[in-house]
Chains A and B, each alone.
Chain A
Amino acid sequence: MSTQTLSPAYVRSDMLPAAAPPHRQEGAISWLRDNLFSGWFNSLLTLLGLAIIWSLVSHFWPWFAHSVWNANSLAECRQIIAEKWGDGANGACFAVIRVRWHQYIFGFYPRAEYWRPILTMGLLFVAIAPVLFSVNASIRRWVLAGAGLLCMVLLAVTASPDWSVVLVWLLFAAALLLAEYAPGRLLIVTVFYPVLAVWLLWGGSPWYPFMLLMGFAVGYGVSALVPRGMSAATGIVVTVLWWVFRAAPVAGLVTQILPLSLPAIQSSVFGGFLLSVVIGVSAIALSLPLGILLALARQSNMFIIYSLAVVFIEFIRGVPLITLLFVALVLLKYFLPPGTNFDLILRVIIMVTLFAAAYMAEVIRGGLAALPRGQYEAADSLGLNYWQAQRLIILPQALKISIPGIVGTFIGVFKDTTLVGLINLYDPLKGISDVVRSEFAWKGIYWEPFIFTGTIFFVICFSMSRYSMYLERRLSREHR
């Protein structure tokens, strides 16, 4: 090597090979020193943190440790705790959950029909698996197997009829097989799931909701026959006409030929997590497409469309959700033709959807704004029309950017479903708890139901959050 020379001229004669990086100190001690005790101030903070954790745990732990699961009233709980741990001891009375858990899950749904909401939940996983886990077969398998197992457990603890267990077995076996060999076919379940869910939950004849779904097919079919310029508008008009004039009579006709009927269930008996999930899942599924349309409308050059979107979004965002729920409860009736009395749960779903869509629109607009102008220009310069450019180029990227915000909105919407307790629906947090407490045996019990419902909410919301992280990781790996 000629580095010894002082002259400015220098020519490297041999290239350096790549060397291994220097060793890092590893092990628990060095980790502790680096992360918890690096300097006196950080050591102090660490000790302070430990003290806070200790004081929290030491306060709550006895309450959990003394918990009673077998009792028939709060008084009995207290007696057991006093006998076992001495007078003045504190303890949780989770017995209320053991006795009344089914109300927290199903509300006042008739016990003999519990298999219907359980099956609906199971099918929900079958319906979303091919959409959410379209790439990874092993995750899809585990999700389906887990959902099947959960259904079995729920069917067992609710003492559901044997044939319903067999039915769930068969359905999940079929779903798992399809997921393995033809995952695309599972999308059929996804398409018909709304009809299936409405029929299973509310009973009656499946044909009316089915005919509503068919409206889309009819509209699409007619729009394909009409020349291009008018096809979209014609499709929409035909769909609406079908809904208003043809869906009910055709459904009646089919019902006469094929009477597939389940005992009808009134909306008033819905409650607990059944109610929350019905409202939450519907609002989540509907608010995403609506939010996308609103976000695009707000970016539009067309003045009317732009203004409508802005007014809608700002109005909805400027009003608390509870106001909209009261509108659903009371005011909506005044705006509708006299005699129409459509379901309160449906009205609530509409309001929650509109509320979520306004927030969704703003989240997605953020994603749209983050895309470089060049993407729009490249799509334009290739001759793609507006909808092609949005669907193929703009939205896939904008939605990917917005995933954390979108899932955040989803989680918010799902938790907001507990607000329906304020319009006399039995939400799991307040509505059902009030019912439980109105029985003398459980008067004065507060924390235990909160912890139970809180845990279930946490599990569901945390799953959504993990899913969003999985999706972000997957997409960033794909797109680099």
Chain B
Amino acid sequence: MSSQTQTPTEMPRLGADTAIQIRKMNKWYGNFHVLRDIDLNVAVGERIVIAGPSGSGKSTLIRCINRLEEHQSGQIIVDDIELTNDIKDIDKVRSEVGMVFQHFNLFPHLTVLENCTLAPIWVRKMPKAQAEETAMRFLEKVRIPEQAQKYPGQLSGGQQQRVAIARSLCMEPRIMLFDEPTSALDPEMIKEVLDTMIELADTGMTMLVVTHEMGFAQAVADRVIFMDQGQIVEQNTPTEFFNNPQSDRTKLFLSQILGH
């Protein structure tokens, strides 16, 4: 196995419109070095799929971007704000970065509509009527406006995940993070969530998606990043990544997930 990291043949152009910049970022859980020297630039509007075996640190990486996890060295700059211990900066970044979780994490004591209006009302100080209007607009986009008055527990997994996407979008974020959004779903519900994500990608949203759905990566991603053992092993355009993988690890990974 070679440990070389291939330089991608074609990198997106960076500059003033950089959404996220990560420099030499390291993170440890106790003595365990989870993320090692991560360097990553994400352009505005770019759609990135992060793949890799479990335990490779891909979820931890995107959770560092909105500071659900703290990094110990290096820099993360999101939307010109560097993530430090300043709580105000963290809350500011979080209100600009939406996140969708593997297990949805909807608020079970609130209706679907209340789930969607909560953050706009309390964080954005939006009037209630306007927040509800926005929420209904996004619920229509994810095609479940008729469920607005129900509680999350009454919905199917796929519906819950679409509500979770709508809830994030109601904050009108500039960046969306997806942490294995379809991994907890029954196979027949994966498609409805992926379709929603594809529609979102078509609107030009900056997206970082941790997923095992390689079909989605091929259809939507501008760039695929492959991670293993806490480091970025290879990144490339989807076409190149799937047809012409360079590193042995990538080849092994692809053969394992595509070869059955």
CA distance A81 to B99 in the complex (A): 79
Residues of B within 8 A of A479 (CB): 108-109, 151, 153
Q: Is the interface of A mostly helix, strand, loop or mixed?
A: helix
Residues of B within 8 A of A134 (CB): none
CA distance A381 to B107 in the complex (A): 13
State how many angstroms separate the Cβ of B211 from the closest Cβ of chain A: 18
Residues of A within 8 A of B252 (CB): none
Q: Mark B165-176, 1 if CB is under 8 A from A, else 0.
A: 001100100000
Contact of B109 among A374, A379, A397 (CB under 8 A): A397
CA distance A385 to B124 in the complex (A): 12
Q: Return the chain A residue nearest B94 by Cβ.
A: A383
Segment 62-113 of B: residues with Cβ below 8 Å from A? 66, 68, 87, 91-92, 94-99, 101, 103-109
B118-A382 in contact (CB<8A): yes
CA distance A372 to B66 in the complex (A): 19
CA distance A242 to B185 in the complex (A): 58
State how many angstroms separate the Cβ of B58 from the closest Cβ of chain A: 17
Residues of B within 8 A of A396 (CB): 109
Number of A-B contacts (CB under 8 A): 73
Residues of B within 8 A of A393 (CB): 107, 118
Q: Return the chain A residue nearest B154 by Cβ.
A: A480
CA distance A381 to B169 in the complex (A): 12
CA distance A397 to B108 in the complex (A): 8
Residues of A within 8 A of B200 (CB): none
Q: Return the chain A residue nearest B153 by Cβ.
A: A480
B99-A381 in contact (CB<8A): yes
A377-B123 in contact (CB<8A): no
> Known contacts A377-B101, A479-B151, A480-B151: does B109 contact A382 (CB below 8 Å)?
no
Residues of B within 8 A of A381 (CB): 66, 68, 94, 97-99, 101, 168
CA distance A478 to B150 in the complex (A): 10
Residues of A within 8 A of B25 (CB): none
B94-A382 in contact (CB<8A): yes
A380-B118 in contact (CB<8A): no
Residues of B within 8 A of A285 (CB): none
B189 at the interface (CB under 8 A from A): no
Interface residues on A, range: 20 to 34
State how many angstroms separate the Cβ of B213 from the closest Cβ of chain A: 21
CA distance A375 to B92 in the complex (A): 19
Q: Return the chain A residue nearest B101 by Cβ.
A: A374
B205 at the interface (CB under 8 A from A): no
B119 at the interface (CB under 8 A from A): yes
Residues of A within 8 A of B171 (CB): 382-383
Residues of B within 8 A of A374 (CB): 101, 103-105
State how many angstroms separate the Cβ of A1 from the closest Cβ of chain B: 28
Q: Return the chain B residue nearest A400 by Cβ.
A: B109
Q: Return the chain B residue nearest A391 by Cβ.
A: B122
CA distance A164 to B108 in the complex (A): 48
Residues of A within 8 A of B123 (CB): 382-384, 388
Contact of B119 among A372, A377, A382, A478 (CB under 8 A): A382
Residues of A within 8 A of B91 (CB): 383-385
State how many angstroms separate the Cβ of B131 from the closest Cβ of chain A: 13
Q: Return the chain A residue nearest B96 by Cβ.
A: A383
Residues of B within 8 A of A480 (CB): 108, 151, 153-154
A451 at the interface (CB under 8 A from B): no
Segment 126-183 of A: residues with Cβ below 8 Å from B? none
State how many angstroms separate the Cβ of B86 from the closest Cβ of chain A: 12
Residues of A within 8 A of B167 (CB): 382
Residues of A within 8 A of B154 (CB): 480
State how many angstroms separate the Cβ of B202 from the closest Cβ of chain A: 24
Residues of A within 8 A of B99 (CB): 378, 381
Q: Return the chain B residue nearest A383 by Cβ.
A: B95
A-B pairs, top 9 by smallest CB distance, nearest first, are: A383-B95, A378-B105, A374-B105, A382-B119, A381-B99, A383-B94, A480-B153, A383-B123, A480-B151
Cross-chain pairs A/B with CB under 8 angstroms, 12 sampled: A374-B104, A374-B105, A377-B105, A378-B106, A381-B68, A381-B97, A381-B98, A382-B94, A382-B123, A392-B118, A393-B118, A480-B108
A382-B95, A382-B167 are known; give 18 further A-B pairs, CB within 8 A. A374-B105, A378-B105, A378-B106, A380-B68, A381-B98, A382-B118, A382-B119, A382-B123, A383-B91, A383-B94, A383-B96, A383-B171, A384-B91, A396-B109, A397-B108, A397-B109, A478-B109, A480-B108
